[in-house]
Amino acid sequence: MTIPEIQKSKEALEKVHILRDYRAVLKAIKPRMREGDDKRIRLAFELAFEAHKDMRRKSGEPYIHHPLAVAKIVAEEVGLGVTSVICALLHDVVEDSEITLEEIKKDFGEEVSTIVDGLTKISKLSSGSDSIQAENYRKILLTLSDDIRVILIKIADRLHNMRTLDDVPRKNQLKISSETLFLYAPLAHRLGLYAIKGEFEDLSMKYTEAEKYKEIATALNSKKRERAKFINDFCSPLLVEIKKSGLNARVSGRPKTIFSIWNKMKKKEIEFEDVYDKFAIRIIIDSPIDKEKEDCWRAYSIITDLYHPSPNRLRDWISHPKANGYESLHTTVMGPKGKWVEVQIRTERMDIIAERGLAAHWKYKENKGSKTVDDAVENWLSTVREILKNPEANPIEFINDFKLQLYAQEIYTFTPGGDLKILPKNSTALDFAYSIHTGLGDHCIGAKVNNKLVPISHTLKNGDQIEIISSKKQKPNEDWLNFVITSRAKSKIKYALKEVKKEIGEEGKAILDRKLRQLKANFNGENVQLLANYYKKNSILDLYYDIANDKVELSKLKGLKIIGGNFEMPKPEKKDLIIHKEFKPSLSPEEISKNTELVIFGESNMIPYEFAKCCAPIPGDDVVGFLSINGMVKIHRTSCPNMLNLMSKYGYRIVKTRWTNPRKPEFLTGILINGLDDIGLMNNITQIISGELKLNMKSLSIESKDGIVEGTIYIYIQDQDQLNELINKLKQLQGIISVNRIEK
């Protein structure tokens, strides 16, 4: 074949694959299509195809596969309708082509145009300053106050990007994975998209902690048959009894996510084999809406008749659904062979909501849904919208406050009239006051919890009934921020404090105006900003406020040079800093990050760097560099929580980093040993470290209690291979239960 023929053949094959993906979208959305919808979807597809015809993804495939994949996720996995599928197909069209929102509005209507506009605004966000990524997140969250479908489609967009992350550069993999863990996974959790949340976490771990991910995935796969047999042995008698009872139910078992298993291993400091609940059993009941609660409790009774339940592990989210609409009964029972098993009981309706979250909740809302669920969901959304109307001026602080709410465990509290209020665990009486009304929170002086008088800082518990006591004389103060935990309360308190600060600042402004007149200096924006910088204040308002509170020495102004009414400030002293030629000030962090590769211990390497103390990387670890504001690159392990946080907020400061190790320096590393107390154990441990491997040991601390030994050893290691050899040798000692590197 000639080259043109080969090219033509390739294009023909690509068109076949594109049409296959298009038909898959139609198949997924077909149950929700009405007359004429097929023409609208086809028009959206043709428009997207034309807009992206010359574009390709990093993998080399035509770009149109991406919007088609997002549309399929939106229909099949999120469960949205035709409008959302059309918006998913068009989500990059305005940004990537000459097509305007007006044209989309003309062809598809106002609703589609509004959603595409929201998606385009998110897509246009770009890096540029230290807080820009947090600002981007805030803008993404602001779409919740317009049309929540924008954020649901954006989650689908991110999911497909995560599924195809193998084709992008390593640095981008780390940045995108960190962002996903930081915001998208918690957001999916809060919106009830549990399946997507789990996939986000697993895929992020695949790139940030590749070795652990492979290790757990391999272990899970190797135990697949054994797990299937155990599930069958557990479920068989259960199915028999359920059938006898007359319930129409199906029973299934599924493994927990790799990320959740790894989190449990870290939290409890145990090995993979010691994680008992690696899977969960689900009982899904086909039940009419008016019998759902009754049927779920009947199933619970059958389970607990067969298997002994753990008294502390019952979770009733049927009587009190979660704020995102999640309903289910969870219990943990002792199964065959003395193994604990988590069992989740819910109806078909509840299961769909558990998998598809708010999108499915709305599907059932019109006359099938639970009023408790409706109230919980609508209350949360209205709270979110109110917070987002007046977001905190500092975007990083705002995002951190908001993010805390996404994963928070919940408590159920009640007003004096018996109305339910769902709050995050550890909420205080003041959080409760703000959840009812801003004015009530601003003037709160105390509360009665279960008829007992308590202070506003009192931490609430599940089932508490709260009556708020208020006074018009009360005003918010900064101390309140130390004990409220809800983002709504924090944003309202900060807003009130800012208003008070403005009032006091007016006094400071007048004082400064008089002072400048005395010095014959101009009172203008340029001079005031110079003074704010001179006194090292974050803003002009802070300067005015501190002047009013007598915290600024205005007498220093006499020593400043004034020319023509304007201040001439002394130039700051230059600090000596050895910086590689690529790190000259004229380069932006984006250019440094894009064009620089840091080679650790490279003979010609001149880039200033240091190893992060938070995770203590050693040669062989998967590492990444982060450019700090002083031009120094800090080397972190890619799995370091601090680094994940930094990458999610400042991805443009990531510096590609690799090891080369001609000099073999030594690194201080800690290991934790658990075992049975036995004569000679200490001698055997030191014999391996100092005698056999000839390693330099800094410290060794061993404690024994009730026959169990726990020891912490700090040694100097050259690289990961040497560390792994040490760990493996120590594990072989008689009486040793586990040996783990200390994750700082």
Cβ atoms within 10 Å, residue 374: 16
Residues 440 and 261: their CA atoms lie apart, in Å, by 43
Residues 269 and 674: their CA atoms lie apart, in Å, by 10
Q: Tokens 């974050």 label which residue?
A: 538
The SS3 of residue 332 is: strand
Strands (E), 419-558: 420-424, 444-449, 452-454, 466-470
Q: Residue 57 burial (CB < 10 Å; 0-12/13-18/19+)?
A: middle
The SS3 of residue 340 is: strand
Distances (CA, A) of 144 to 86, 138, 149, 200, 381: 19, 10, 8, 20, 8
DSSP 580: -
Tokens at residue 411, please?
Answer: 């408590």
**Nearest in space to 111 (alpha carbons), one of 137, 139, 141, 81:** 81
Residues 357 and 195: their CA atoms lie apart, in Å, by 9
**Nearest in space to 628 (alpha carbons), one of 589, 576, 587:** 589
Residues 128 and 133: their CA atoms lie apart, in Å, by 8
Residues 450 and 45: their CA atoms lie apart, in Å, by 59
Residues 132 and 125: their CA atoms lie apart, in Å, by 9
Enumerate the active-site residues.
95-96
Q: What is the DSSP string of 414-427?
A: E-TT--EEEEETT-
Tokens at residue 56, please?
Answer: 């390709």
- Cα angle value 33/37/41 (rounded, 5°): 110
Cβ atoms within 10 Å, residue 419: 10
Residues 71 and 28: their CA atoms lie apart, in Å, by 9
Residues 116 and 47: their CA atoms lie apart, in Å, by 13
Distances (CA, A) of 527 to 281, 506, 544, 546, 548: 68, 17, 13, 17, 18
DSSP 458: P
